[in-house]
Amino acid sequence: MFDWLVVGAGFAGSVMAERLARDRNERVLVIDKRPHIAGNAYDRHDKAGLLVHQYGPHIFHTNSRQIFDYLSRFTEWRAYEHRVLASVDGMQLPIPINLDTINRLYGLDLTTEELAVWFGERAEPVEEIRTSEDVVVSQIGRELYEKFFRGYTRKQWGVDPSELDKAVTARVPTRTNRDDRYFTDEYQYMPKHGYTRMFESMLDHPNIKIMLQTDFADIRDEIPFRRVVYTGPVDEYFDHRFGKLPYRSLGFEHVTEENEWHQSVAVVNYPMDHDYTRITEYKHLTGQTHPHTSLTYEYPSDRGDPYYPVPRPENAALYKRYEALARAEENVWFVGRLATYRYYNMDQVVGQALATYRRISESIPVARPH
C-alpha cells in the first residue's frame, strides 16, 4: 500500500514526492505517462552528444531565495543570464524592447529620457487595460505592437492578442534603458548538469518508486494508494465533464548543424515571418563546447500534448467550475501548471508545490513517523 500516488513526474509531482518521502517518511509511487521524468523540463543528450531540451528552452529564474535554496539541494548551478533577439525588418534586435532596439530599428540616437517621451507620444490611451493588445499599445503604440507582438502572439496562441488576457504579453516588459536581459530576477541559473539530473537527485529516495509510461487512467483502480497528488490536466481528471479546457501545444523540430554556432544568442524570436515562433541554440544555455550545434524550432499547434493554459476570460470561467470539483475531491491535491490551469514558470510551480506540502503537513498527521 502506497501512502501517496503522485501523477506526473514534472516539477509539481517531483517536489511533492520528494517532500512527502523525505520529510514525512511516507511511501510514494510516482507515475508518468511519458518514458522519462522531469516533465516539460526534461533534457537529454542528442545523437551528437549535445544537451538539448526535448520540450523547448527552459531557463530557471526566480526572486525567491526559498525556492532557489530548495532546488540547490539537488543540483549545482551554472550562472546564466538569458538574452533574446527578435528578427524584425531584417534586423535582429533586443527583446524586451529597450533603448538599443529603438535606436537601431529607427536609426535614432535617443537617450533614456528621450525614449520615455518618444514612447509617450506613440502610446495609445486605453481606458481599461484588459487584453494582451491593450497592455502593449498603451505603453509603446501600435507600430511596435505590430512589429514585435501581434504576429508572434497570433502564431503562438492561434488567436489575436485582443482576445487574450493582458497577463500574456505583460510577461515581456518594455525598457527605456539598455538592459537586454530577458529576465531581471535575482537568481538566474541553469542546473549545471541539466534538469533531468536534478530530477534524478530529487527523486532518489528509498520511499519513492517510479513507474514510467504509465497512465493514471490505467492504474487508478489497480494499485492501492491512500491519497493522490495529481499534476495532469484538471479537465481530464474529471473526464471533461464541463467540456475541454483549451491548452496550447507546440511541435518541436530538433536539428543539429555541422557548424559551431547558428546564432549569437540562445533564442531568436520570429514575430513577423515563418511558421515557427523561435529558434533556440542550446550551447548558449548549457555552456557546452562542441564543434557542432543543436537547435530547436517551435511550431505552435492546437493538437498535441498540453503545454500552455490559454489565459482568456471564458477559459478562466470554465476552469473555476473544475476548480470547484477539485476542491471537493477528498484526498486528492491538484498541483502544477496543468492541474491548476495557470501559466506558471518553473519556480512558481515549485513554490506552489512547497505551499501545498505545507498545507498537507498542517492538516494530515504523518503516517510513518521517522
* Residue 149 contacts which entry, ligand FAD, ligand UDP, none (Cβ below 5-8 A, type-dependent): ligand UDP
Binders of ligand UDP among 124-183, rule CB under 6 A? Answer: 148-149, 152-153, 156, 168-169, 171-172
Report the C-alpha gap between 33 and 213 in whole angstroms: 4
Report the C-alpha gap between 169 and 156 in whole angstroms: 11
Closest to 360 measured CA to CA, from 2, 68, 21: 21
Other Cβ atoms closer than 10 A to 129: 15
Report the C-alpha gap between 353 and 340 in whole angstroms: 11
Considering the complex, state which of residue 95 and residue 295 has its C-beta at the smaller distance from ligand UDP. Answer: 95
- Write out the three cell numbers for 348: 512558481
In the complex, minimum distance from the CB of residue 264 to ligand UDP, in angstroms, rounded to a whole number: 16
Size of the site for ligand UDP (CB under 6 A): 13
Report the C-alpha gap between 307 and 309 in whole angstroms: 7
Other Cβ atoms closer than 10 A to 181: 16
Among 3, 18, 26, 32, binds ligand FAD (CB under 6 A): 32
Among 2, 3, 5, 11, binds ligand FAD (CB under 6 A): 11
- Write out the three cell numbers for 255: 536539428
3-state secondary structure of 310: coil
* Residue 269 contacts which entry, ligand UDP, ligand FAD, none (Cβ below 5-8 A, type-dependent): ligand UDP
Q: Is 94 in the site for ligand FAD (CB under 6 A)?
A: no
What is the distance between the terminal CA atoms of the chain, rounded to a whole angstrom?
A: 18
- DSSP for 244-259, written as a single string: PPPEEEEEEEEEEESS
Q: Is 7 in the site for ligand FAD (CB under 6 A)?
A: yes
Contact present, 61 and 82 (Cβ < 8 Å): yes
Contact string (CB under 6 A) for ligand FAD, positions 332-361, x = contact:
----xxx-----xxxx-x------------
Residues 6+ apart with CB under 8 A from 107: none
Contact present, 217 and 223 (Cβ < 8 Å): no
Considering the complex, state which of residue 348 and residue 361 has its C-beta at the smaller distance from ligand UDP. Answer: 348
- Strand-pair category, 278-281 with 267-269: antiparallel
- Cα 99 to chain center, whole Å? 27
Among 5, 26, 56, 115, binds ligand FAD (CB under 6 A): 56
* Residue 7 contacts which entry, ligand FAD, ligand UDP, none (Cβ below 5-8 A, type-dependent): ligand FAD
In the complex, minimum distance from the CB of residue 252 to ligand UDP, in angstroms, rounded to a whole number: 12
Report the C-alpha gap between 351 and 2 in whole angstroms: 25
Among 10, 94, 96, 151, binds ligand FAD (CB under 6 A): 10
Other Cβ atoms closer than 10 A to 169: 23
Contact string (CB under 6 A) for ligand FAD, positions 283-322, x = contact:
------------------------x---------------
Binders of ligand FAD among 159-218, rule CB under 6 A? Answer: 215-217
Among 75, 87, 231, 269, binds ligand UDP (CB under 6 A): 269
* Residue 55 contacts which entry, ligand UDP, ligand FAD, none (Cβ below 5-8 A, type-dependent): ligand FAD
Contact present, 27 and 19 (Cβ < 8 Å): no
Binders of ligand UDP among 74-93, rule CB under 6 A? Answer: 86
Residues at the site binding ligand FAD, with contacts judged by CB under 6 A: 7-13, 31-34, 39-41, 55-59, 215-217, 231-232, 250, 307, 336-338, 344-347, 349
Q: Which residues in this chain contact ligand UDP in the complex, by CB under 6 A?
A: 86, 95, 148-149, 152-153, 156, 168-169, 171-172, 269, 271
